[in-house]
Chain A
Amino acid sequence: MITKNLISRLRPALVRPTTSIRHASAHFTYVPEVAREEYGPTSKRNLFQSINNAMDVALGSDRTAVIFGEDVAFGGVFRATVNLQEKYGKDRVFNTPLCEQGIVGFGIGVAVAGSTAIAEVQFADYIYPAFDQLVNEAAKYRYRSGNQFNCGALTVRTPYGAVGHGALYHSQSPEAYFAHTAGLKVVIPRGPIQAKGLLLSCIRDKNPCIFFEPKILYRSAVEEVPNGDYEIPLGKAEILRQGTDVTLVGYGTQIHVLKEVADMAQEKLGVSCEVIDVQTISPWDAETVCNSVTKTGRLLVSHEAPITNGFAAEIASYVQKECFLNLEAPVERVCGWDTPFPHSLEPFYMPNKWRCFDAIKRLMSF
């Protein structure tokens, strides 16, 4: 906890664009996307602003909705809740004591009583004290009560993923722990437009959701985000780039690595890659991925989390079962190593574009 407080104090350095761009440029480039026209007028927003905007919409449209967590009242250490307390009142946006198991347990109770709970865990690295409440309680509430009680109105938001210098406890990607739990939905956006639509879907979904926010994108990802109320469906992958030779699957920040890798493969190898953002880790959209692999015959899955038992393992084994006759090469997984997330060695840990590029070469020459 000492480390955490220190980092909170150092937060401007942690997310200041100059800092993150310096580190970010080492492993990905954010290319702004264009929102669907049907979502209406837009404004320029970075990721934290679009998340802030999503919560503004959620609180405006649901009087029972409350936001709480550590340091959310003054705007949050990443500014995601800025101005919300002023706008909606201290009883709707408030600080809790510093205790993650309490935050999630409290959120479950708010949801059980029929209100909408938007809980924040300051870093995904600190979600483990609430693991019991999430896995044994939130995930199983509806099932164990025969649908008499549920906490479907609970959403847990948490900053997530590598940030350049976050070391062991400000870099983790714990999605696979939760993907192994029936009853939870796990969602990770790749940019501001998706973040708003997916977060609004999570908040309104009738199941407890964990929403991981790639914190390296908070300030570095900027694009035109629709101002209105729109939802992006959960459980649906999105094909970002059509291709014919290899399917590249990922989520969160890693999508931007994969998009760049697709360009490199086209340019340097003449290989056509299909890039898919699964967006929802659980329950994931196997159909879209399998259809793509049926077409391309080759699959690369990539994530920042360690490789062993990471979510890529689930995708790989499912695809080999469903697409066995279509596969031209063994499924490649390019992931973090089976180590804790290191500080000064981060560049060597990351599943960067060069490692992904080499994997594509292996897939094509098998």
Chain B
Amino acid sequence: MHRVSNYLSLRAVQRCFKIPNNGGEISSGIYFPRQNSVSVGGIRGYAARVAPGAAAVDKAIQEAESSTEGNKATPADAADLAADRPRFPGSRSKWTGKMDFLMPEAYEGIPVYRVMDRRGIIDDPTQDPNLDEATLVKMYQTMTLLNYMDKILYESQRQGRISFYMTHFGEEGTLIGSAAGLDDKDLAYVQYREAGILMWRGFTLDQFMNQCYGNEEDIGKGKQMPVHYGSKELAFVTVSSPLATQMPQAVGSAYAYKRAQNGKVVICYFGDGAASEGDAHAALNFSATLDCPIIFFCRNNGYAISTPTSQQFRGDGIASRGPGYGIPTIRVDGNDTLAIYNVTKAARDLCLTQNRPVLIEAMTYRIGHHSTSDDSSAYRSVDEVKYWDQEDNPISRIRKYMTHKGFWNDEKETQWRDKAKKQVMVAFQKAEKKLRPAPEDLFNDVFDELPWNLRKQRKEMLDAVKSHPEQYPLKEHAKIGSAST
């Protein structure tokens, strides 16, 4: 039993304490002695003047305590107590007399939604999205094409032919499953390990390669490091290296979309490490308070470079944070492409119909190294990697499912492999032969127009090149003066 006194309402307090009206005022439960009853003689004088009142309060407390000891509250008090709720503007809840810390360990982790098991068998038939053959084949082919492209470009970096690369090994399912669950016109903000979205939407192998080589046909004009793709046409906002910065930006775009009522949502991808950035906090909070139609898609692959999740957070992953921000949240098996598809599609509907954000945490595993600048065997075991590569891989899992359905077989696999490899190699060789942008392109697009100082600096740069042409890699670049703008 809780002591009744814990539930005393303001009115009950007034009644119990029988505070004389001329002795002071009750406001917010705090006893304020009247100013004019306080002498200017300091604390002693003050105590002396209020002493009679204090005696009355003591008496009232004694009365109140004696009446509560036997739980003898009057019916009027009981009604008051029942209606009594905390009125703090900062929360919605009820009182409790039990001092109970909310222990995070007391709760089971948020469950992982799964549609098919590792053998490609559906647990619950009602959850099978029953995608048609053409869609499933496109999904599978995109996942495997991405996988081939990763292998070729990873190797090319090892050979020093491109400066940098990041693979998607093990995360193909999160990318293609979610891309298929969206409308292709939905605006995607990503981190960097999401090229599958672009590939699904029709970014060509030539375009990927041109970006990695930074040649003159790169639509990013050779300004950024490899894998920093972007395409206005495919509603895929250009990647930047600073982590999580895209998150509050995606929220701003979602807000603009809501005002434009264009029937589109914004999706924002990020890793479990990026979720520790302040910008992640900003984004989640802004999206909820400003009612934005945005899907936050977290790729929780267990590592941020060498840092395991145990050193990244102590809560139940990223998903557990969603409810704290007032965001509908789900956790899903990232290696189950169909589960990813289902939750993304449902999240999209939820965003559009309710104008509110949704958080999806896709549990997966980063099979590859963080990047070509990283050797992950320095911080994790080869056996651990092998398990995810061979026993629980999104590509092999969906292939098994498609085989059960009769949509795929070994013969198709062999033909597709050959075709895919050939496509990748052709695009790779083409991109390698192309020239890099003209030198003066260095100054373009800083502003919409070139200000005087950049025009001046461009001339200085070109003069410097003319003085020492042999000191610059001019043969690798398009001719001076050939840049557009």
Complex partner residue of A146 from B278, B285, B445, CB under 8 angstroms = B445
Contact in complex: A144, B231 (CB < 8 Å): no
Interface string of A75-109 (1 = CB under 8 A from B): 00000000000000001001011010110111111
A145 pairs with B285, CB closer than 8 A: no
- Say if the beta carbon of A25 comes within 8 Å of chain B: no
A111: chain B residues at CB < 8 Å are 252
Contact with B along A252-263 (1 / 0, CB 8 A): 000000000000
Contact in complex: B252, A106 (CB < 8 Å): yes
Which stretch, B41-49, B141-149, B214-222, touches the partner chain A?
Answer: B214-222
Instruction: Output the least CB separation between A300 and chain B (Å).
Output: 23
Tell whether B408 is near chain A: CB-to-CB under 8 Å.
no
A144: B residues at CB distance < 8 A: 220, 223-224, 228, 238, 240
Set A108, A183, A286, A287: member contacting B252, Cβ < 8 A: A108
CB pair B238–A102 under 8 Å, yes or no, is: no
B residues 373-408 touching A (CB-CB < 8 Å): none
Q: Which of A100-141 contact B (CB under 8 A)?
A: 101-102, 104-115, 117, 129, 132-133, 136-137, 140-141
B contact residues around A99 at 8 Å (CB): 278, 281-282, 285-286
Interface size on A, residues (CB 8 A): 48
Q: Are A287 and B254 in contact (CB under 8 A)?
A: no
Report the nearest B residue to A117, measured CB to CB: B252
Q: Contacts A283-B452, A283-B453 hold; do A105 and B245 have CB atoms under 8 A apart?
A: yes
Contacts of B248 in A (CB 8 A): 101-102, 104-106, 108-109, 133
| CB-nearest residue of chain A to B442 | A143
- Could you tell me the distance between the alpha carbons of A30 and B76 in the complex, rounded to whole angstroms? 66
Flag B247-266 by CB within 8 Å of A: 1 or 0 each: 11111111111011000000
Interchain CB contact under 8 A, B255 and A110: yes
Task: Identify which of A101, A137, A286 contacts B240 (C-beta below 8 A).
Answer: A137
Known: A137-B245, A143-B223, A144-B228. A182 touches B446 (CB 8 A): yes
Kindly state the separation between the CA atoms of A97 and B283 in the bound complex, as whole angstroms.
10
* B242 interfacial by beta-carbon distance below 8 Å: yes
A136 to B303 Cα, complex, angstroms: 25
> Are A146 and B220 closer than 8 Å at their CB atoms?
yes
Report how far A129 CA is from B278 CA in the complex, Å.
9
CB-based contact A114/B256 at 8 Å: yes
Cross-chain contact B451 with A152 (CB below 8 angstroms): no
Shortest CB distance A59–B (Å): 13
Residues from chain B with Cβ under 8 Å of A94 in the complex = 290
State whether the Cβ of A352 lies closer than 8 Å to any Cβ in chain B: no
Contact with B along A55-81 (1 / 0, CB 8 A): 000000000101000000000000000
* Contact residues in A for B279 (Cβ distance below 8 Å): 101-102, 105, 132-133
Contact B249–A106 (Cβ < 8 Å):
yes
Check B256 against A115 for contact (C-beta < 8 Å).
yes
Contact A91 B259 (CB under 8 A): yes
Q: Which residues in A have their C-beta under 8 angstroms from that of B240?
A: 136-137, 140, 144
Q: Which residue of chain B has the shortest Cβ distance to A142 in the bound complex?
A: B445
A85 to chain B, nearest CB (A): 14
Chain B interface residue number, banded: 35 or more
Nearest chain B CB to A82 CB, angstrom units = 22
The interface residues of chain B lying within 8 Å CB-to-CB of A286 are: 452-453
Closest to A234 in B: B451
Known contacts A112-B237, A148-B231: does B452 contact A287 (CB below 8 Å)? yes
With CB as the reference atom, state the residue of chain A lying closest to B448: A206
| Chain B CB within 8 A of A5 CB | no
Q: Using Cβ atoms and an 8 Å threshold, which residues of chain A touch B251?
A: 102, 105-106, 109
B230 CB to nearest chain A CB (Å): 5
**Is the beta-carbon distance between A101 and B282 smaller than 8 angstroms?**
yes
Q: Is B107 an interface residue (CB 8 A)?
A: no
Please tell me if A147 contacts chain B, counting CB pairs below 8 Å.
yes
**Interchain CB contact under 8 A, B220 and A145:** yes
- Check if A183 sits within 8 Å of B247, measured CB to CB: no
A108-B252, A148-B238 known; A96+B289 contact, CB < 8 A:
yes
CA distance A303 to B285 in the complex (A): 38
Complex: A107 Cα to B255 Cα, angstroms: 10
Residue of B nearest to A106 (CB): B252
Determine the distance from Cα of A106 to Cα of B445 in the docked complex, in whole angstroms: 22
Question: In the complex, A283 Cα to B451 Cα: how many Å?
Answer: 7
Q: Is B232 an interface residue (CB 8 A)?
A: yes
Chain B residues lying within 8 Å of A129, measured Cβ to Cβ, are 278
> Which residues between 179 and 199 of chain B lie within 8 Å of chain A, taking CB atoms?
187, 189
With a CB–CB cut-off of 8 A, which chain A residues contact B289?
A: 96-97
Q: How far is the CA of A66 from the CA of B254 in the complex (A)?
A: 13
Given A106-B248, A109-B248, A137 and B242 touching (CB < 8 A)?
yes
CA of A64 to CA of B257 in the docked complex: distance in angstroms?
Answer: 10
| A113-B187 in contact (CB<8A) | yes
The answer to whether the Cβ of A173 comes within 8 Å of any Cβ in the partner chain is: no
Contacts of A330 in B (CB 8 A): none
Quick check: is B447 within 8 A (CB to CB) of the other chain?
yes
User: Once bound together, how far apart are the Cα atoms of A353 and B212, in whole Å?
Assistant: 57
User: When chains A and B are docked, how far (Å) is the Cα of A94 from the Cα of B289?
Assistant: 11
| Given A102-B281, A109-B253, A142-B447, 15 extra CB contacts under 8 A | A66-B256, A96-B289, A97-B289, A99-B285, A101-B279, A105-B248, A105-B251, A105-B279, A109-B256, A112-B253, A113-B260, A136-B242, A145-B220, A149-B232, A235-B451
28 contacts across the A-B interface (CB closer than 8 A):
A94-B290, A96-B290, A99-B281, A99-B286, A101-B248, A105-B247, A106-B248, A106-B286, A108-B249, A109-B189, A109-B250, A109-B254, A109-B255, A110-B255, A113-B187, A113-B253, A136-B240, A136-B242, A137-B245, A144-B220, A144-B228, A145-B220, A145-B238, A146-B445, A148-B231, A183-B446, A185-B447, A235-B451
Where the two chains meet, the residues of B that have a C-beta atom closer than 8 Å to any C-beta of A are: 187, 189, 218-221, 223-224, 228, 230-232, 237-238, 240, 242, 245, 247-257, 259-260, 278-279, 281-283, 285-286, 289-290, 444-448, 451-453
Q: Which 7 A-B pairs have the closest CB atoms?
A: A109-B252, A105-B248, A102-B282, A113-B256, A109-B249, A145-B238, A146-B221
